[in-house]
Structure 1
């Protein structure tokens, strides 16, 4: 009797995965169909999360608005490293509505120093379907009362610069 239960559970899981793949394929068509493009305004695309404690999980929210006339779809939100998980709206964002991409950053115990992370967001937007949001800060050990080192002004200006943003933040870091 037990083998049948396993077979049923495996079949249900397989069908559920197939449905998700179909939905993702349907949305990816939007990236190639310019008649369905809209506009996005990033309210938050660069976040300084300050000093965080090693071994703790931190949540970062990136807000955006559909400033176009057609529904906005977030096709994917892919973190640049395995220490970050991104969650994004799976439903359409109607014109003039806002949405949020939430990143969860998990720092291993014993890790310290400055960091910078990115999330690659794919949308059905005019100009480019590829967007990046960024967060940065420093990691301190538990009980450390000294403030984390801040990224200097020159680095912050470079992060804000569209030309340099991608080059600086897509380089691998040790975290």
Structure 2
């Protein structure tokens, strides 16, 4: 019985033809990393994704859906074989505080290989002023022993001009605060220390005063930093 013998070239050609059959999608990159930015310096992140049709039939991007309302996209829905289009996106991060950002975009298409593709936009916001503690607990029984905080910033002449405590009224909601904050004595001490990111280190000493019972609320630090004029820390006084 006759059995056909196929060469390696023919076999590879058949495989290649199979792999390119129909519309096929390839996206570069799938994750766009903006990198690190300083708090308050960037309001919008622009990210571009290149979509290529590696198949032999038209690729149709049926939906390109951002994961939240802060992200908008613009794109061409039809990609001819062998051609590429852009998905242009923009993330509004105005008012975002320090921390990591991760925004998703879901692409649905008629691709044979990957009909659903998830794209990511990532970034990191570095605080304009880093504070060693996010929660303060003052000891009113020892007014001569200060609470010590360490702050760091790229601003070499950073200053804390005022420290106050705003107590929450007993039995009230989080939004109900007393009208008059309590002024607290403080001492601001620049140091010679510099962090690995070239930020300058400062020491803040906050002194307590006698009070009848512990109060919970917010410590408010006034600064001379244009991007961070006020630091708010929760705590007990």
* Secondary structure of residue in 2 paired with 1:121: strand
Contiguous gaps of at least 5 residues in structure 1: 1-35, 148-175
In the alignment, what sits opposite 1:82?
69
Map Cα deviations across residues 47-101 of structure 1 (whole Å, 9 max, x no partner).
Answer: 11112354511110011210001111111111111111111213x2111101111
Cα distance in 2, alignment partners of residues 125 and 131 from structure 1: 10
CA RMSD of aligned residues (A): 2.5
Picking from 89, 101, 104, the partner of 1:115 is 101
Is 2:101 the partner of 1:126?
no
Is 2:86 the partner of 1:100?
yes
Contiguous gaps of at least 5 residues in structure 2: 1-20, 130-152, 155-196, 199-237
Which has the larger Rg?
Answer: 2
Cα drift, residue 126 of structure 1: 0.7
* Secondary structure of residue in 1 paired with 2:59: coil
More helix by percentage: 1
Superposed counterparts of 1:1-175, under 5 Å:
37-52=22-37, 53-54=39-40, 56-90=43-77, 92-140=78-126, 145=154
Conserved 8 A contact 1:83-1:107: yes
- Scaled by the length of structure 1, the TM-score of the pair is 0.56
Cα distance in 2, alignment partners of residues 142 and 56 from structure 1: 14
Conserved 8 A contact 1:38-1:125: yes
Cα distance in 2, alignment partners of residues 135 and 100 from structure 1: 15
More strand by percentage: 2
Conserved 8 A contact 1:37-1:124: no
Cα drift, residue 142 of structure 1: 6.5
Give the count of matched residue pairs.
Answer: 111
Conserved 8 A contact 1:110-1:141: no
